[in-house]
Structure 1
């Protein structure tokens, strides 16, 4: 008989029940002793440091006298006590240069200074609040599964962070006091990118309440400014976009080579998905978004990511995928491929209509045009083709009117979105800067018209049903026009066929 009285254990402590870590003083003394000095990590200034300094100066101009708080964000729970792989918030990454899985719980703060007394003559001094490497005589070293060196490897020191980023680094434990400094009714106001870290947002809100601050600007204004800062890419960002697109092109070649195996597998779409995703993980950080591998009628579901269907010869497979590189910039490319390497006449007809729409969009994606013009040009072609095929209940002209839009039955999405650190980048930008914005050199966005005829669509001939086509490229606006960054992937149907044949030879 067990005469031990059960000890009530708080629910929040029960996650450690699986652990058998010893707690004796002898164990603690032994595990924290007998280590060689840590080697110097050899950290050098990162290539992004000069560019991120210029970006911080630009955002500083918009918020004189205001403390700006941009968190990296916390680790996010996947299930129970396991977390997703960490990815810093894009505004934080853009202004610090951190990528991959760096640095959970870090916070970039731009502290206001007298005008012109800040970094580089700006109105702010930047400080990165991070959790640095813990000494080996601390419990964190061996016992903390989230931050401990035994569990996740050695973290950079404060000096390492400063050297890498060019930003003064301080311990995250100093954050609360730093945020509270001079906050008051007549003092410093504080803005935070609220969506990045709930705990930091709650801290900022508590400090405002304690100080009785009446905000004259909203947190949304900071998120908006950080988003609009990315609308025009600098030279480093353009180089990184080229790299992301190049690695994505290689991934599509791997996809073509995987098609025979996909045909043989009961979940052929997953053969395609995992082929690309493995390539993205090996050659970059990961995929920039969930890969779409949509065969047959699945291609008419715009965001089909279940990817559990069969892949049949004679059908098309729509692959929408992008490699996110270590610096977190991602490509976003779609190709619609004939599974056996040759388009049927009907497939070619639909594919060519989409290609012509894309070419029309490229023709107007030049400096001085408006972003919305790109979509309008593509829609003119789509509506005209649908009219030619006898599918529209009205003329193309009537359908293109705001009161019509019948052609959008077969393409309900937009033609373009900005691209960069996020697959749908700059999403908090104001309408007049984004949809109604004027195109400038350095902007990077997609051009991706499509036509989607669902298998049960009685408004189209039977031969069209179950066919979905999208062609998506990544375009850079240049001083005298534009550049198709993904042009290395064939687009014309005859070129797609020749390319696929060459890879299979």
Structure 2
């Protein structure tokens, strides 16, 4: 078995475009903990059923610092006497024909799963010192517990190793601070990240367009939502790594369920189809876009009325995005439009100002939320809800800065069984979402290529119908 093979191609990988950026990011992180070692794992494979695994995706913090896609890898930043850090990446080496694993290991052997970069290839591609994974336990044992911080919950081997440290070692609070700092450093995107997000958005726009072209076919199936879900997933796999999150394809009353990811319902002419989807690019940055489309190609007067309010609310939110504005300003601007519309329709049992009062104990405060349910924005990047470990004072309660990317996604949802609204409104759900880059002088709608207003949506859909 070990003989009779052609020579192995020994070509070393070329340097990855991300390498200069990940080097800067590691240096930036190190300045926050100048005398401490930092341990950041990529995570491992997870069993889906018996001897099959889920597709692997590295932890976002690890990937942001390395650009490495490999499972089981661990980055250690070692403080030096000069005040900086040496980075060492521990990862599994090749399971090529020189190893017995090549023939016998169904999970990692290259005869079973194909070639993958090892120590030498990763060192060359990512411009970082790499060491074989079997050296990791000794490297962890050499760390001083009281001067080490760890990203926990991704790698059981790392978690077990640090759990054996003394009670005076790395505590949960100290490790949580590392997770916070990593999230906060990722709030402002560099040029490389913005370009990758633009790529993910462009693929997402194409995926939406392909879904519009498949609405007719989807309407012939008992579970046509699945047809649209699959149409978009195919684009995500062709142009990217995967979908960035479970696609929401919610038609008719399903659109009033915020996280409708079963996607197993019919697509009926006359109904609205709420599509909330995003391509995760090969660089793992994801888009997050929502459009609510009339399946038949034209909105009914009532559907248009609801859509128009959400569109105006979203535009008010987008207009509020600028450097120095509060992160919550887009939400406040969008909610004012929605609360006013609900008041004008006679659905708000309070004044607009009473409902918008942010003191939850104030009379009438938040009554509009029955029909809008969620916040208007979240950060976007490697994760669809990016930078989730950041402190409120640096995120939710902070000012926007150039380089931040956030969604603006107001919605109106009238539940099918909500007796506080007229019967004709029940079962209508509308959300419109775009990905907005904060620029030095304002903002840029990264997903502006997709029609947003009711008129533009109808023209777009008519054009796609004519092409098909």
Q: TM-score range by the shorter chain?
A: over 0.9
1:281-311 per-position Cα deviation (integer Å, ceiling 9, x unaligned) = 1111110011110000000000001111111
The answer to whether the aligner puts 1:339 opposite 2:305 as a matched pair is: no
- Within the candidate set 295, 308, 311, 2:264 is matched to 308
Inter-partner Cα distance in structure 1 for 2:273 and 2:11: 46
Matched with 1:463 is 424
1:33 CA displacement: 2.0
5 Å-filtered alignment, 1:374-393, equals 374-393=330-349
Matched with 1:108 is 75
1:84 CA displacement: 0.2
Contact 1:64 1:115 in 2 (8 A): no
With over 3 angstroms needed to count, the CA separation of the structure-2 counterparts of 1:144 and 1:361, relative to structure 1, is same
- Within the candidate set 284, 294, 304, 1:328 is matched to 284
SS of the aligned residue for 1:311 comes to coil
5 Å-filtered alignment, 1:20-419, equals 31-98=1-68, 102-116=69-83, 123-181=84-142, 183=144, 189-206=147-164, 208-209=165-166, 213=169, 218-401=174-357, 402=359, 403=362, 404-419=365-380
Alignment RMSD (CA, Å): 1.4
Inter-partner Cα distance in structure 1 for 2:92 and 2:318: 46
TM-score (norm 2): 0.96
Inter-partner Cα distance in structure 1 for 2:12 and 2:297: 50
Inter-partner Cα distance in structure 2 for 1:378 and 1:97: 37
1:136 CA displacement: 2.0
Inter-partner Cα distance in structure 1 for 2:170 and 2:119: 35
SS of the aligned residue for 1:329 comes to coil
Query: Structure 1: which 4+ aligned runs deviate by more than 6 Å?
Result: none
SS of the aligned residue for 2:222 comes to coil
SS of the aligned residue for 1:464 comes to coil
The answer to whether the aligner puts 1:448 opposite 2:415 as a matched pair is: no
Farther off after superposition, 213-222 or 225-234: 213-222
Q: Which runs of 5+ in 1 are unaligned?
A: 1-30, 117-122
TM-score (norm 1): 0.89
Inter-partner Cα distance in structure 2 for 1:315 and 1:383: 25
1:215 CA displacement: 5.1
1:216 CA displacement: 9.9
Contact 2:310 2:431 in 1 (8 A): yes
1:34 CA displacement: 2.4
1:362-405 per-position Cα deviation (integer Å, ceiling 9, x unaligned) = 11110001101111111111100000000011111111112310
1:250-302 per-position Cα deviation (integer Å, ceiling 9, x unaligned) = 00000000100111100011111111111111111110011110000000000
Inter-partner Cα distance in structure 1 for 2:28 and 2:98: 43
Q: Which runs of 5+ in 2 are unaligned?
A: none
Inter-partner Cα distance in structure 1 for 2:227 and 2:170: 56
With over 3 angstroms needed to count, the CA separation of the structure-2 counterparts of 1:367 and 1:466, relative to structure 1, is same
Inter-partner Cα distance in structure 1 for 2:143 and 2:415: 61
Contact 2:162 2:170 in 1 (8 A): no
SS of the aligned residue for 1:314 comes to coil
SS of the aligned residue for 2:322 comes to coil
Contact 2:149 2:170 in 1 (8 A): no
1:473-493 per-position Cα deviation (integer Å, ceiling 9, x unaligned) = 000000000000000000010
Contact 2:12 2:124 in 1 (8 A): no
